[in-house]
Chains A and B, each alone.
Chain A
Amino acid sequence: MSISLEEVRHTAKLARLELSEEEMVALQGELNALLGLFSELEAMDLADMEAQSHALSLQNVWSEDIPAAPLERSEALRNSALARAGLFVVPTIIED
């Protein structure tokens, strides 16, 4: 399988990355090199193997709902490039 420039553009949109034309061309080459490497997996007989998302057989971990002191609001907002009146400020999402 190989990836077209159009697919690179679409994937960048899904990944929320603004890329220049030159970057997209460079990425197309690099992604195709990786996909070339991945083709060795196609040769494996995996039909009845269960997919494993984790190395451990984990169970859901539950915790008691115990009230505790949360992070101060001012602390949580301190690292934002733009915060006002105790809130994160973002560009307009819905136009009126």
Chain B
Amino acid sequence: MPIARSASELAGDVRSGLISPTEVASAYIERVERFNGLLGAFLWFDPDAALAEARQVESRLARGEDLPLAGVPIAVKDNISTRGIPTTCASRILEGYVPPYDATVVERLRLAGAIVFGKTNLDEFAMGGSTETSAFGPSRNPWDLERSPGGSSGGSAAAVAGLLSPAALGSDTGGSIRMPAALCGIVGFKPTYGRCSRYGLVAFGSSLDQIGPMALTVEDAGRIAAAITGHDPRDGTSLDAPPIQPAFERASLRGKRLALPRELSGEALHPAVRSAFLQALDTLRAEGAEVEEVSLPSVRLAVSMYYILAPAEASSNLARFDGIRFGPREGGAGHVEAVERTRGRLFGHEVKTRIMIGTYVLSAGYYEAYYTKAQQARAILREEFRRVLQRCDAVVSPSVPVPAFRIGELSGDPVALKMLDLCTIPANMGGFCAISIPCGLAEGLPVGLQLLGPPMGDEALLETAHAAERALPPIGLPPLN
């Protein structure tokens, strides 16, 4: 079976009986066995479990069930709960934890006929932009094994770009789907906040987190989004809205107004990223898109806002990891000492740093100076974007200011690594939908183009992204083989 195929093509061939789900699963299992040692994409992978799920899909198809994702293997980021399958968040504090329930998105994937295809590596608790803070070792970029796939959904991105799985799920708090998708040359989609249930996603920044698909094509991302989104009574922030259903047949760039923020297209960018991005913009213009330069002055403060608000929420969310109800426990004389020891020894350095900054900005005397101020700034940032999106269809920018960096290159400079989230953070701050698609190469490495749309504009955003993808020359596959 040829492996470089989209999830949509695979599902089509399975549904029409050209190939069987077990044939599909076997082909990808072979890829995982051959390449996962190099890529470090999966933290957990069980070929027998994948084949057993494939056989179940076969019998459901035989019974005549209509399965939109029939037999499509989908890798799942290891901060999304899977019943009976370990879920570690790449942290030693959850080593050995086996959730007693499935996340809503996992239930819905299976309902649509997809196969849960292993659990992928991430920065510990999704805190990082390189997959280097994983307690179980970094993932590597299929375009250059010395480089990072980005993060935090780096394992999912490496698995899809390396053709170890036709698609994957990631989670996005400040860019954790779109950033690794861009650095690995694939598509990554963060839905509007509230359109995809967070039930079963281990919480990081609850007002920012959103699960979404990572795939080879926009059509695949749309198809997976259709399966996993829609109202869920188990998530109190879930919007009362139907699943995302793009109509790709009407996708066109003609007359589409794209806002180009000055703050995200100038000197903040690596020169090779900038030139690949500007060339892609010319292509979109040639297809009928109108590009309008705009100013979104608060964008330059987005990283500061994010690194106050997300750690503040995380410091509260991660209080539940105390060694009592799940995970290993380190001994201590009394209760408090045991909790402090367990957390001090089993959380990694980046997680401890974020818990500390979050606790600090929420503590008496500093709350107003940092937390309240960041919340006010968040409101201003959102308003600036909202105004632009009233007259434009989408905000366009590169997804990441640089191409994939070397593993270890930025780990000594945590502020520099955080600045790479500049283009992606605003979507989380405002609850907007956003997608990264490959748009070219910079020094032989993929460059991502981001389109950001208004809340509930997911369908139109996916359609525009589909038209852009069709217009842009394909970047090809990574040299891995």
Partners in one complex: yes
A residues whose Cβ falls under 8 Å from a Cβ of B: 1, 3, 7-8, 11-12, 14-19, 23, 26-27, 30-31, 33-34, 37-38, 40-42, 44, 46, 49-56, 58, 61, 63, 71, 75-76, 78-82, 88, 90-93
Docked complex Cα distance between A80 and B97 (Å): 9
Given known A-B contacts A15-B356, A17-B355, A31-B360, A81 and B328 have beta carbons under 8 A apart: yes
Q: Are B304 and A40 within 8 A (Cβ)? A: yes
A82 smallest CB distance to B (angstroms): 7
Docked complex Cα distance between A34 and B324 (Å): 32
Give which listed residue, B100, B236, B335, B345, contacts A91 with CB less than 8 A. B335
Please give me the residue from chain A that is nearest to B432 by CB atom: A55
Docked complex Cα distance between A90 and B431 (Å): 40
A43 smallest CB distance to B (angstroms): 9
Give which listed residue, A14, A30, A49, A92, contacts B363 with CB less than 8 A. A14
Q: Are B356 and A38 within 8 A (Cβ)? A: no
Q: Are A79 and B327 within 8 A (Cβ)? A: yes
Q: Interface digits, B86-99 against A, CB 8 Å rule (1 contact, 0 not)?
A: 00000000001110
B208 smallest CB distance to A (angstroms): 8
Docked complex Cα distance between A25 and B193 (Å): 38
Given known A-B contacts A51-B372, A63-B233, A71 and B194 have beta carbons under 8 A apart: no
Give which listed residue, A12, A42, A49, A92, contacts B356 with CB less than 8 A. A12
Residues on B with C-beta less than 8 A from A49 are: 376-377, 379-380
Q: Are A92 and B414 within 8 A (Cβ)? A: no
Residues on A with C-beta less than 8 A from B307 are: 34, 37-38
Docked complex Cα distance between A54 and B382 (Å): 11
B residues whose Cβ falls under 8 Å from a Cβ of A: 96-98, 100-101, 193-194, 207-208, 233, 236-237, 239, 298, 300-301, 303-305, 307-308, 315, 319, 322-329, 331-341, 343-345, 347, 349, 352-353, 355-357, 359-360, 363, 366, 369-370, 372-380, 382, 414-415, 418, 428-432, 455
Given known A-B contacts A79-B327, A80-B324, A53 and B98 have beta carbons under 8 A apart: no
17 extra interchain contacts, Cβ-Cβ under 8 A, other than A15-B359, A16-B343?
Answer: A18-B337, A18-B345, A19-B352, A33-B414, A37-B303, A37-B307, A41-B301, A42-B373, A46-B380, A49-B377, A54-B207, A55-B208, A56-B431, A61-B236, A75-B100, A76-B100, A93-B335
Docked complex Cα distance between A82 and B300 (Å): 48
Q: Are B357 and A31 within 8 A (Cβ)? A: yes
A50 smallest CB distance to B (angstroms): 6
Given known A-B contacts A16-B339, A93-B334, A53 and B375 have beta carbons under 8 A apart: yes
Please give me the residue from chain A that is nearest to B236 by CB atom: A61
**Which among A38, A54, A79 has the greatest number of chain B C-beta atoms within 10 A?**
A38
Q: Are A55 and B193 within 8 A (Cβ)? A: yes
Please give me the residue from chain A that is nearest to B305 by CB atom: A41
Q: Are B324 and A52 within 8 A (Cβ)? A: no
Residues on B with C-beta less than 8 A from A79 are: 96-98, 100, 325-327
Docked complex Cα distance between A72 and B297 (Å): 53
Residues on A with C-beta less than 8 A from B341 are: 18
Docked complex Cα distance between A27 and B98 (Å): 32
Docked complex Cα distance between A47 and B239 (Å): 31
Q: Are B356 and A8 within 8 A (Cβ)? A: yes
Q: Are B376 and A11 within 8 A (Cβ)? A: no
Given known A-B contacts A79-B98, A81-B323, A50 and B344 have beta carbons under 8 A apart: no
B76 smallest CB distance to A (angstroms): 19
Q: Are A58 and B237 within 8 A (Cβ)? A: yes
Residues on B with C-beta less than 8 A from A40 are: 300-301, 304
Q: Are A56 and B352 within 8 A (Cβ)? A: no
Please give me the residue from chain A that is nearest to B415 by CB atom: A33
Docked complex Cα distance between A16 and B324 (Å): 14
Docked complex Cα distance between A40 and B385 (Å): 20
Residues on A with C-beta less than 8 A from B370 are: 38, 41
Docked complex Cα distance between A1 and B370 (Å): 11
Residues on A with C-beta less than 8 A from B355 are: 15, 17
Given known A-B contacts A16-B340, A49-B380, A55-B193, A31 and B356 have beta carbons under 8 A apart: yes
Q: Are B357 and A34 within 8 A (Cβ)? A: yes
Docked complex Cα distance between A93 and B322 (Å): 14
Residues on A with C-beta less than 8 A from B335 are: 90-93
18 contacts between A and B (CB under 8 A): A1-B369, A15-B356, A16-B339, A17-B355, A18-B343, A18-B345, A27-B353, A27-B356, A31-B360, A38-B374, A41-B304, A44-B377, A52-B378, A52-B379, A55-B429, A71-B100, A79-B325, A91-B332
